């Protein structure tokens, strides 16, 4: 395992070991051994006197040896078959028991990958933040003209920020089980506000649960002490309990919140919540989350708020992950209907807008932008009354703005970004092709001696001689210029693979064969061979991932043709 991983470090990323050895994916140990011996004889450094050829032979010999090392060991072969070379580079294989099945190896790989992810997570502070800016735009719709008649400049409606909230938290893993969390927040409303800072220590006690101690202090409220416990009761059921003591000038205010949750089926969760203290309430909810939808129904009885709520979200299976949602909430405070949509606008950003229409709350538009772990929230209060014009503008305005922004800003930006990435890929592919080309040319130079011997032997028995062989993308005769760029001559490497007047190629991509390289990355390629067998010319054109056996009667070129 260690050796395979160490060897894997040296190989190019896209090296196909099966193609390099020219064996089937189901090849037996005997087939692997025969292919390995043949290539060893060809590339053994001791067979070449020229210093440059000797160093090239050494490199190719090591590559062949590495391919054989990986494929001849059932365990590393199973890892390579499932995950390619990146699987062999994963740390931790050396402790894995031998003679495992492919399924067990897959599980082991996933476990090691999870551990690596966890280590990566431990190095991160996992920052999370929210910025919320409340905007009062009621002046746009709820204007009383008589009050403004004598006021200069009253023709312009007043739009102002009336509340703000900022919160931020960072985590610091102390050990594998302990994490420290520091968080703070600031809130203001109509010029008055305050903030608080909290410190929490979380310990994972077992696979079944964790506990958290919290200490907080703020300028509006006194110190806060809290204890939170999470525990899995059964594989389908868990409980969370949160106790808090809030100290203030009016004395100590205790609070207790308990949530009992259960998996009702694969996609559905049921929750029972009991809250006692500052705002006592009992709440029950059912949440169903599938690939295409998210549905919630909740009922709360409490002081001062009792309500019933139903919400539904439809998830479209498009690349922008578009979601459309609607909800109805009715209770002692009135009735609110909300509808909205959200969409991915870049790799890490999601933009959403929701219209809220309520009695007596009025009409609001809420705009939200999620960027990685940061959330920016802009609730815009439009009117205290139920005005159809406010509902219309709150619905149509954001849609028009979004499509204009998408067409004029987002789309061109993403297109330019994609173009830059493609350019980078082309550049790296170009340098990769150059390296592969040099390797292939070196391999061909090393083959000259062997090919001469093979041709002599085949000529003596009127056997198989490759007259011409081309590999790459073939185009029409009109564009010969292109053909030279896209096609490479592989006559020598193919002749080198002839054994006892037979040439057998597997269904692997031919680009990995010794002396070959990919002249047109990402495009469809073919292999065109003109060969002589028993003194008669034959020709064949074969797709890149197609197995090929030569000679064949059907490849004959008729004398009159």
Per-residue pLDDT at 478: 56
Residue 292, in any domain of the structure? no
Please determine, for residue 11, whether its predicted confidence score (pLDDT) is greater than 50: no
Q: What are the backbone angles phi and psi of residue 165, rounded to the nearest 5°?
A: -145, 130
Residue 22, in any domain of the structure? yes
Is the model's pTM score more than 0.95?
Answer: no
Q: What percent of the chain has pLDDT over 90?
A: 39
Query: Could you give the 3-state DSSP secondary structure of residue 300?
Result: strand
Which residues have C-beta within 8 Å of that of residue 333, sequence separation ≥ 6? 305, 307
CA distance 443 to 496: 11
Residue 326, in any domain of the structure? no
Element (H, E) at 469: strand 464-472
CA distance to 49, 60, 354, 484, per residue, from 55 (Å)? 10, 9, 67, 30
* pLDDT tens per residue, range 264-300: 999 999 999 999 987 899 999 999 999 999 999 999 9
Residues 23, 131 within the same domain: no
Please determine, for residue 480, whether its predicted confidence score (pLDDT) is greater than 60: no
Boundary residue ending a domain (249, 276, 303): 276
Residue 314, in any domain of the structure? no
With cut-offs at 50, 70 and 90, classify the pLDDT of residue 130.
very high
| Average of per-residue pLDDT values in the chain | 84
> Average pLDDT of 51-61?
79
Residues 59, 134 within the same domain: no
Per-residue pLDDT at 89: 63
With cut-offs at 50, 70 and 90, classify the pLDDT of residue 490.
very high
Range of the domain at 463: 428-560
Residues 490, 441 within the same domain: yes
Q: What are the backbone angles phi and psi of residue 286, rounded to the nearest 5°?
A: -125, 130
Residues 446, 534 within the same domain: yes
Structure tokens at 192: 């008055």
CA distance 184 to 130: 11
Residue 12, in any domain of the structure? yes
Instruction: Write the DSSP symbol of residue 124.
Output: -
Residues 89, 212 within the same domain: no
Residue 445, in any domain of the structure? yes
| Domain at 197, CATH number | 2.40.160.40
Task: Mean pLDDT check: name the lowest of 5-14, 56-65, 199-208, 366-375.
Answer: 5-14
The residue that leads in pLDDT, 153 or 399, is 399
Per-residue pLDDT at 2: 43
Residue 78, in any domain of the structure? yes
Residues 445, 510 within the same domain: yes
Residue 380, in any domain of the structure? no
Residues 210, 137 within the same domain: yes
With cut-offs at 50, 70 and 90, classify the pLDDT of residue 118.
low
CA distance 226 to 277: 14
Residues 137, 86 within the same domain: no
Residues 75, 163 within the same domain: no
Number of domains comprising the chain? 3
């Amino acid at each position: 395992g260690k050796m395979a991983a160490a060897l894997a470090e040296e190989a190019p990323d896209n090296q196909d070991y099966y193609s390099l050895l020219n064996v089937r994916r189901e090849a037996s140990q005997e087939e692997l051994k025969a292919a390995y011996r043949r290539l060893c004889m060809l590339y053994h450094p001791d067979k070449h006197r020229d210093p440059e050829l000797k160093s090239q032979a050494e490199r190719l010999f090591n590559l062949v040896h590495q391919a054989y090392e990986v494929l001849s060991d059932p365990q590393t072969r199973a890892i390579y078959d499932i995950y390619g070379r990146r699987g062999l580079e994963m740390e931790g294989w050396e402790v894995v028991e031998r003679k495992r099945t492919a399924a067990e190896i897959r599980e082991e790989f996933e476990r090691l990958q999870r551990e690596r992810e966890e280590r990566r997570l431990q190095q991160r502070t996992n920052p999370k933040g929210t910025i919320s800016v409340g905007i009062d735009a009621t002046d746009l719709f709820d204007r009383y003209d008589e009050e403004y008649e004598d006021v200069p400049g009253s023709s312009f409606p007043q739009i102002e920020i009336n509340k703000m909230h900022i919160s931020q938290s960072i985590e610091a893993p102390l050990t594998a089980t302990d994490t420290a969390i520091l968080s703070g927040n600031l809130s203001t409303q109509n010029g008055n506000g305050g903030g608080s800072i909290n410190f929490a220590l979380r310990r994972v006690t077992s696979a079944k649960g964790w506990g958290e101690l919290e200490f907080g202090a703020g300028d509006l409220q006194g110190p806060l002490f809290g204890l939170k416990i999470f525990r899995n009761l059964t594989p389908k059921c868990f409980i969370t309990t949160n106790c808090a003591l809030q100290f203030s000038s009016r004395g100590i205010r205790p609070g207790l919140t308990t949530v009992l949750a259960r998996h009702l089926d694969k996609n559905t969760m049921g929750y029972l919540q009991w809250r006692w203290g500052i705002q006592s309430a009992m709440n029950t909810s059912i949440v169903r989350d599938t690939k295409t939808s998210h549905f919630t129904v909740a009922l709360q009885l409490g002081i001062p708020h009792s309500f019933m709520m139903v919400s539904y979200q439809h998830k479209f299976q498009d690349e922008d992950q578009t979601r459309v949602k609607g909800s109805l909430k009715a209770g002692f405070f009135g009735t609110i209907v909300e509808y909205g949509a959200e969409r991915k606008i870049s790799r890490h950003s999601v933009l959403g807008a929701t219209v809220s229409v309520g009695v007596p709350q009025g009409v609001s538009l809420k705009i939200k932008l999620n960027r990685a772990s940061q959330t920016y929230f802009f609730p815009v209060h439009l009117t205290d009354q139920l005005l159809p014009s406010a509902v219309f503008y709150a619905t149509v305005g954001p849609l028009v703005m979004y499509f204009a922004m998408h067409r004029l800003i987002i789309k061109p930006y993403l297109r330019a970004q994609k173009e830059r990435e493609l350019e980078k890929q082309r550049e790296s592919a170009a340098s990769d092709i150059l390296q592969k080309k040099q390797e292939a040319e070196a391999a061909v130079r090393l083959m000259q001696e062997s090919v001469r011997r093979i041709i002599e032997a085949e000529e003596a028995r009127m056997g198989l001689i490759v007259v011409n062989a081309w590999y790459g993308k073939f185009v029409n005769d009109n564009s010969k210029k292109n053909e030279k760029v896209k096609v490479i001559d592989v006559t020598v490497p193919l002749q080198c693979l002839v054994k006892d007047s037979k040439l057998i190629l597997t269904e692997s991509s031919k680009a990995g064969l010794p002396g070959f390289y990919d002249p047109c990355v990402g495009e469809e390629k073919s292999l065109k061979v003109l060969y002589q067998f028993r003194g008669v010319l034959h020709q064949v054109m074969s797709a890149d991932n197609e197995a090929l056996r030569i000679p064949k009667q059907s490849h004959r070129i008729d004398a009159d043709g």
